[in-house]
Chain A
Amino acid sequence: MARSSYKVTTRTGASQIAALVAAVLLVAAIALPTFASRSLIQDMFFILTMLTLAQFWNLLAGYGGLVSVGQQAFVGFGAYMLFGGAILWGVDPVAGLLLAGVAALVLAVPTAFFAFRLHGAYFAIGTWVVAEVVRLSVAQWKAVGGGTGTSLPRDARDLMWGVQWIESAFEVRSSEARDILTYWLALALTVATIGGVYWFLRTKRGLALAALRDNVEAARSVGVDSERMKWIVFLVAAFGTGIAGALIFLQNGRISPDSAFSVIDWTAFVIFIVVIGGIGTIEGPIVGVLVFFALQTLLADYGSWYLMILGALGIAVMLFSPGGLWGIISDRTGLRLFPIQRRLERRDGLQQKEVEEERP
């Protein structure tokens, strides 16, 4: 009989090893500022923030089918809220990160209301238009420097929560202490993002999101509320993207509308990372960001050739391996670092035999 003769599990051997490795890596990452150089900390900051942006874009496009090219709206708006908060109301920049997330979330509501009326390519263009509108509007905001931008006030920078403690604990100058602080914040954000996405995909709603990714019409026919899922994904992505954007410019210390709302930096590169790594998986963006960083380092001296090579590589992957690098790896090896697949297993262990008896 069927009842109670089966159990459901998500664990795999590889995932348990991966969890162990991840724990070790996390401890090493937290301890990194005690032994690493400042430039390594800055590189790590870059990798972590790009990874966070990529995870959220992957959630949007890879799972939600929402191919947005306007995520720079939330990066820029979030970042400007942090600067505005610090300059106008003296909000501590660390608290300002939360303000940035909430601001991006608020911006996402009218954006979604407008953009969800559009589909496919029109949705993509619509989100880009929204981002441009926000950029042009923010450029009118004189208190934060209008079109030329501004710097974070010295007080906000040097008296930021945690900086003085790091200065004395590590015996470093305040600029270096800021790098360490923002690095830790980026690490926390990345871990929370990946953890959050992983948790979500293991819920009933996450399963529905994966079904929507594969086939919208069929998902609707079995009772999946596709509209609601789109809203959830879009708002969550905006919130996280806003925080990540604010953090990037907090570390930078300077902001301008062109840099904060750059479609190349905050959307094109992010899409590249997700596509190269493998869209629709948690592992994909992780692989992608490492490849992206390596390419950027290798090709740093080649100017516009760098962008052309990036583009060509992106197109090649889309044509020849739509699953990205992680797709190739997991197809060949069956490896899954984040086990979200629910496996049905017989309690008496006969499952394997049955599978083999079935015709391929």
Chain B
Amino acid sequence: MPAILSLKDVSKSFGALTVTDSVTFDVPEGQALGIIGPNGAGKSTLFNLITGNLSADKGRIEYDGRDVTKVPPMQRCLSGIGRSFQIPQPFDRLTVFETLLVSATHGRGAPEREVEDDCAAILERTELIGVANRPSGTLTLLQRKRLELARAMATRPKLLLLDEIAGGLTEGECIALVETIRAIHAEGVTIIWIEHVLHALTSVVERLLVLDFGKIIGIGDPDEIMASREVREIYLGIEI
């Protein structure tokens, strides 16, 4: 499979603090890649570099065979990079359905009429159909997390970036969400997923990347990665 995303020697610093340190990796099309690492390892920064919300100081980011290092976020979204935010960022006064409409019309560049049915279908899959007409600001945490996923899906992404989407959910809620993500992945959507809830992550991803102090300290088969001594040291005290 050709790589849909490829980072080459990408670095980013905030002042003296290097948060992304010469990061290089490829994601083959259709793969689900998990990213783990302690708090402050630079995981969300890595996402922001991929979506264009932050610009890299050094290095090159290629998406779908094109150099997108300097491409603004909006264009990257239009070309198929969708994301969810770690802390849900709902459009408080828009309803759940309207949120998806914005996302689908602008993320795909399509008129409203053409995407209405598809938005309804996404709401059904993400189990938000019952709250379709409720303002997004009134949703529960689980519903907000689902809405993050649904909103990203509405742009019809080829590459979906999920930032701690299972964080803060109960066990049961988590299982249901994982099922939805697994189904999305099964359709061929490439996924990069940052997650602290390891069992949720490893039940979906085929490959795992470990980040610490902005550096990749391991990438490969999830079982092998989790078995390595370095990773165990970093995660010492965290139940696997």
Contacts and interface: CB of A to CB of B under 8 A. Distances in A.
B235 interface: no
B94 A210 contact: yes
B91 A210 contact: yes
Given A213-B93, A344-B133, A219 B116 contact: no
B90 interface: yes
A341 B98 contact: yes
A207 B155 contact: no
B134 A223 contact: no
B45 to A, nearest CB: 15
A210 B92 CA distance: 10
A3 interface: yes
B117 A207 contact: no
B77 A343 contact: no
Contact of A224 (B51, B74, B89, B133): B74
B109 A3 contact: no
Nearest to B85: A218
A219 B155 CA distance: 12
Q: How large is the interface on B (under 10, 10 to 19, 20 to 34, 35 or more residues)?
A: 35 or more
A153 to B, nearest CB: 49
Contacts of A2: 117, 120-121, 124
A224 B119 CA distance: 17
Given A208-B106, A224-B102, A343-B97, A219 B117 contact: no
Contacts of A213: 93
Q: How large is the interface on A (under 10, 10 to 19, 20 to 34, 35 or more residues)?
A: 35 or more
B111 interface: yes
A240 to B, nearest CB: 24
B140 interface: yes
Interface in B60-78: 73-74, 77-78
A204 B106 contact: yes
B2 to A, nearest CB: 24
A343 B111 CA distance: 17
B209 interface: no
B106 A222 contact: yes
Given A2-B124, A218-B85, A342-B97, A223 B155 contact: yes
A357 interface: yes
Interface string A213-232: 11101111111111000000
B133 A221 contact: no
A221 B160 CA distance: 12
B63 to A, nearest CB: 15
Interface in A303-360: 341-344, 351, 354-355, 357-360
Contacts of B109: 223
B95 interface: yes
A222 B102 contact: yes
A218 B98 contact: no
10 contacts: A210-B93, A214-B90, A215-B92, A217-B53, A217-B85, A221-B51, A223-B78, A226-B74, A342-B101, A354-B130
Top 8 A-B pairs, shortest CB-CB distance:
A2-B121, A214-B91, A223-B107, A358-B130, A218-B89, A222-B103, A223-B106, A223-B77
Interface of B: 51, 53, 73-74, 77-78, 82-83, 85, 89-95, 97-99, 101-103, 105-109, 111-112, 116-117, 119-121, 123-124, 129-134, 136, 140, 151-152, 154-155
